[in-house]
Amino acid sequence: MSEFYKTRRDLLKALSLAAIVMPYSRWACAQRKFDKNPFLLGVASGSPTDQSIVLWTRLIDERLFASNLSNEPIEVRWELARDPKFSQTIQSGISLAIPALAYSVHVEVSQLPANQWFYYRFLVGGQVSAVGRTRTLPLPNQELDHLRLAYASCQHYEHGYFSAYQHMLGEKVDLVMFLGDYIYEYGPGRKGVRTHDSGPIISLDDYRKRYVLYKKDENLQAMHAACPWLMTWDDHEVQNDYAGLTPGTFGPYVSDFPKRRAAAYQAYYEHMPLKSSVLIDGLNGLMKGAEMRIYGDFQFGKLANICMLDDRQYRDPGACTPSGSGSAIFDPKGCPELNREDRSILGGDQERWLAGKLRGADKNIWNVIGQPTLYAQRYFPSGDQLLIWNDGWDGFPAARKRMDQLFIENQVKNLVIFGGDVHENWVGYIKADYDKFDSPILGVEFCGTSINSIGNGGKYLDARLAKNRHFIFAEATKKGYGIADFTPKDLTVTLRVLSDAQEETTSIETLAKFVVRSHSNNIQRLS
């Protein structure tokens, strides 16, 4: 057996050990004391259901990478309470921080009451973590008046600060939907406000260090501690514009890309509030393009079902890319391969899973999809030509047509798709045929700008809007996030943007505000 698969086997054992939750009384045994706070990366929660939640932290030595932590599992106590002073603790226990998983802790707390807020913390060696706030989802059949959701993507450490989260903290949201590019894998660049601590990241240790760099940010930590996050990834968690098991572009050549991708996925798991099953279930599927199953859905009572999609792990390579990897912009008329019926961006299993979820769409007032990029067709005008970029859904027209057909066949009402990736705000309609202006409207789309990652589309914006009339609004220079307020009667989306993401202290304002009345498929701009 190769060293790689031996490592994966050992990882599976570590995951099984880490998933064990021991009773509180076990903690009475003597523990080594920590002179310094090992909770430097904060706390987080995610993967919520109506009766469970995942609590996360990671122990790390103050010297960061020359760790003097023992090479043995470390028992970490966790507590979940109804109040921030922990006078009403409802559950507690011991979980193991495993060296093979970078001393990360993923506590899967179950048998909780639905639709309630809780407080949590971790304790080890005389040290106490920050206090986090989290919640369970409502029961599936529960009638609700309101869901407040933030959506965000694309945070590049070098391009600016994460001050957007300082303002998001004041929005008092129920959930954060993060739509990809949590880290960037590049080495130091020329546009940096802050600088990375390494070159391009390749190995497991590299990816771990990059997550530590990001997660030490106080604003990011505070927002993670405020509420549960729903997670998906895009490309930079591994490599720019990678597709499935096909490498992307930029950075040094790596002969074993599946190994690099597996290292990146493991580091992602180690630093996110995900169930251990997402990694265990995917181990045997590595060579089939499935290492971690992160797609899933979250039922917020009758008010909304939120499907989070993964459009990187299972996708086919980009069509008509000259180098054979990465992405390209070209005239689709010169690329017959682009329209091949068997090409997929989600993969067959995920497409079938989504089809099953949409068959029950009539039970929800709002049907929400969170995925990493722009969904609707977007042409780039260039002289007499209309070009497309093949890294997003425009590079998979047959797969998008299958999605659209699912929306039509299941009569999906109040469909809302959120996206990221493009570092720009785009607001518009999902249509059965984008080349026919009077084609039926299937739903609405809000593709968000970046937290701080720089884009370059501002000077082309007017021309692009003119050639894509199904979009009613776009802005390509401002950075920030979006807020979506769902009620049984309407959806209100507010685009919140920073005055300057390259300043540590910056103000925020509303760029634009839209409302979609239930059953209307019509976007009205309010401001």
446, 493 Cβ separation under 8 angstroms:
yes
Asked whether residue 31 carries a pLDDT value surpassing 70, the answer given is: no
Confidence of residue 5 (pLDDT cuts 50, 70, 90): very low
298, 290 Cβ separation under 8 angstroms:
no
pTM for this model (two decimals): 0.95
Confidence of residue 282 (pLDDT cuts 50, 70, 90): low
Asked whether residue 156 carries a pLDDT value surpassing 80, the answer given is: yes
- Per-residue pLDDT tens over the stretch 344-374: 999 999 999 999 999 999 999 999 999 999 9
Asked whether residue 70 carries a pLDDT value surpassing 80, the answer given is: no
Q: Using DSSP bridges, classify how beta strands 89-97 and 21-22 pair: parallel, antiparallel or unpaired.
A: antiparallel
Predicted confidence at residue 191, as pLDDT, reads 72
Listed in sequence order, the residues at least 6 apart from 26 whose beta carbon sits closer than 8 Å to its beta carbon are: 75, 94
Instruction: Output the average pLDDT for the chain.
Output: 92
Asked whether residue 2 carries a pLDDT value surpassing 50, the answer given is: no
Listed in sequence order, the residues at least 6 apart from 168 whose beta carbon sits closer than 8 Å to its beta carbon are: 150, 152, 176, 223, 481, 496
Give me the percent of the chain exceeding a pLDDT of 90. 83
User: Who wins on pLDDT, 30 or 335?
Assistant: 335
Asked whether residue 183 carries a pLDDT value surpassing 60, the answer given is: yes
Do 1-136 and 139-323+344-378+395-525 share a fold? no
Q: Which CATH number is 1-136's, of 3.30.1360.170, 3.40.630.30, 2.60.40.380, 3.40.50.720?
A: 2.60.40.380
Q: Within a 10 A sphere around the Cβ of 237, how many other Cβ atoms?
A: 24
Predicted confidence at residue 291, as pLDDT, reads 77
Side by side, which strands form the sheet with 296-300?
296-300, 304-308, 366-370, 415-419, 441-447, 425-431, 471-475
Asked whether residue 386 carries a pLDDT value surpassing 90, the answer given is: yes
In CATH terms, is domain 139-323+344-378+395-525 a member of 1.10.150.80? no
User: Who wins on pLDDT, 459 or 380?
Assistant: 380
Q: Compute the distance between CA of residue 215 and CA of residue 54 in angstroms, rounded to an integer.
A: 18
Of the candidates 268, 407, 266, 396, the residue with the CA atom closest to the CA atom of residue 340: 396
Q: What per-residue string of b and e applies to 390-427 under the rule 16 or more CB within 10 Å gives b?
A: bbbbbbbbebbebbbebbeebebbbbbbbbbbbbbbbb
Going by the DSSP 8-state scheme, the letter that residue 85 receives in this structure is T
Cα torsion angle, 82, 86, 87, 92, sign = positive
List the chain domain ranges. Answer: 1-136, 139-323+344-378+395-525
Q: Compute the distance between CA of residue 245 and CA of residue 256 in angstroms, rounded to an integer.
A: 10
- Per-residue pLDDT tens over the stretch 79-97: 999 999 999 999 999 999 9
The HSE-up count of residue 453 (CA atoms within 13 Å, CB side) is 25
Predicted confidence at residue 69, as pLDDT, reads 79
- The mean pLDDT of 331-347, rounded to a whole number, is 97
Predicted confidence at residue 13, as pLDDT, reads 64
Out of 127-136, 171-180, 280-289, 441-450, pick the least confident.
280-289
Return the structure tokens found at 332: 């689709």
Confidence of residue 476 (pLDDT cuts 50, 70, 90): very high
Asked whether residue 3 carries a pLDDT value surpassing 60, the answer given is: no
- The mean pLDDT of 62-89, rounded to a whole number, is 86
Out of 15-24, 258-267, 422-431, pick the least confident.
15-24
Give the CA diameter of the chain.
Answer: 75
Asked whether residue 8 carries a pLDDT value surpassing 90, the answer given is: no
Cα torsion angle, 81, 85, 87, 92, sign = positive
User: Who wins on pLDDT, 178 or 6?
Assistant: 178
Asked whether residue 35 carries a pLDDT value surpassing 90, the answer given is: no
Cα torsion angle, 185, 190, 194, 197, sign = positive
Estimate the crossing angle of helix 3-18 against helix 257-270, to 10 degrees: 10
Confidence of residue 28 (pLDDT cuts 50, 70, 90): very low
376, 388 Cβ separation under 8 angstroms:
no
Listed in sequence order, the residues at least 6 apart from 30 whose beta carbon sits closer than 8 Å to its beta carbon are: none
Of the candidates 412, 249, 252, 236, the residue with the CA atom closest to the CA atom of residue 328: 249
